[in-house]
């Protein structure tokens, strides 16, 4: 009986040593990853005219994402799609989107508005709440357009239903090429509250999926009558 207890103690000590080594190794790997990187785009997907890059910034664990492609469409249609905050459009871009409302309506002078959308996440994660300041910018007619989505977590009272994002900077650049093509570029820096190893694995594929779908998203009939001038006059398609 004494020998069995001694064996059990020895096994227990070895298990503790193994666990300690694994923890030290994991901590070392985490630190090494966090402080790695050169802040330069690294091409990770190059398929069907779509390029997706990841950017690793020293001192951060989450990857930034850049994506680009050329779409056969007009600048008017692309701009309309990115300013369409309706629930229908939110669901088309993000199938798990279940609510989209304007917290601050479109300001035609400042060319911005604040939108709230909610998205379900796989269990065990709670739904996510995206409360975003949307800024539309164009320096002159015919020049590229930027549509910047920035987290504005204090723009509305909190809702216990969801985890509200506090960090998001997503800048879409729409650059006209001739009369019927637009170069679309996304630069995204976002924290959706997932473990970084899960997020970093999924983010480039999510960007690729969105860019693959851009021609369909821009081609909706309801954008037929939307022009940049109508947007400047205060009539974009935004959530009500």
pTM of the model: 0.87
Burial of residue 156, with CB atoms counted within 10 A of its CB: 0-12 exposed, 13-18 middle, 19 or more buried: middle
pLDDT tens by residue, 37-85:
899 999 999 999 999 999 999 999 999 999 999 999 999 999 999 999 9
On whether both 6 and 51 belong to a single domain, the answer is no
Give the single-character DSSP code of 223. Answer: G
* pLDDT score for 239: 59
Q: Which domain holds residue 58?
A: 36-232
Asked if the structure places residue 237 within a domain, the reply is no
CA distances from 211 to 70, 195, 230 (A): 10, 24, 26
On whether both 123 and 182 belong to a single domain, the answer is yes
On whether both 86 and 29 belong to a single domain, the answer is no
Torsion sign across C-alpha atoms 174, 177, 178, 180? negative
Asked if the structure places residue 127 within a domain, the reply is yes
On whether both 201 and 156 belong to a single domain, the answer is yes
Asked if the structure places residue 53 within a domain, the reply is yes
pLDDT tens by residue, 115-161:
999 999 999 999 999 999 999 999 999 999 999 999 999 999 999 99
* Token reading at 116: 């709230």
Asked if the structure places residue 63 within a domain, the reply is yes
Residues near 26 by Cβ (< 8 Å), separated by ≥ 6? none
* Token reading at 233: 């006059």
| CATH code, domain with 71 | 3.30.530.20
Number of domains the chain is built from: 2
Average pLDDT value for residue range 195-224 = 96
Asked if the structure places residue 191 within a domain, the reply is yes
Is a pLDDT exceeding 70 seen at residue 26? Answer: no
* pLDDT score for 13: 57
Q: Write the DSSP string, 67-128.
A: EEEEESS-HHHHHHHHH---HHHHHHH-TTEEEEEEEEEEETTTTEEEEEEEE---TTSPPE
């Amino acid at each position: 009986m004494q020998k069995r207890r001694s064996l059990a103690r020895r096994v227990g000590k070895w298990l503790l040593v193994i666990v300690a080594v694994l923890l030290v190794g994991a901590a070392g790997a985490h630190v090494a990853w966090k402080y790695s990187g050169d802040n330069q785009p690294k091409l990770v997907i190059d398929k069907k005219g779509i390029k997706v890059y990841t950017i690793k910034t020293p001192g951060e664990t989450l990857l930034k994402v850049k994506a680009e492609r050329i779409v056969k469409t007009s600048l008017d249609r692309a701009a309309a799609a990115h300013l369409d905050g309706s629930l229908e459009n939110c669901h088309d871009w993000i199938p798990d989107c279940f609510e989209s409302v304007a917290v601050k309506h479109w300001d035609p002078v400042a060319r911005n508005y604040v939108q709230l959308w909610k998205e379900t996440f796989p269990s065990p994660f709670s739904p996510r709440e995206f409360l975003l300041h949307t800024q539309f910018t164009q320096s002159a007619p015919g020049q590229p357009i930027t549509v910047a989505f920035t987290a504005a977590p204090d723009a509305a009272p909190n809702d216990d239903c969801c985890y509200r994002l506090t960090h998001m900077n997503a800048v879409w650049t729409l650059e006209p090429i001739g009369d019927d093509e637009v170069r679309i570029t996304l630069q995204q820096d976002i924290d959706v509250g997932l473990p970084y190893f899960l997020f970093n694995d999924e983010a480039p594929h999510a960007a690729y999926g969105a860019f693959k779908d851009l021609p369909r998203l821009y081609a909706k009939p309801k954008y037929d009558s939307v022009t940049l001038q109508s947007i400047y006059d205060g009539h974009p398609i935004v959530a009500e």
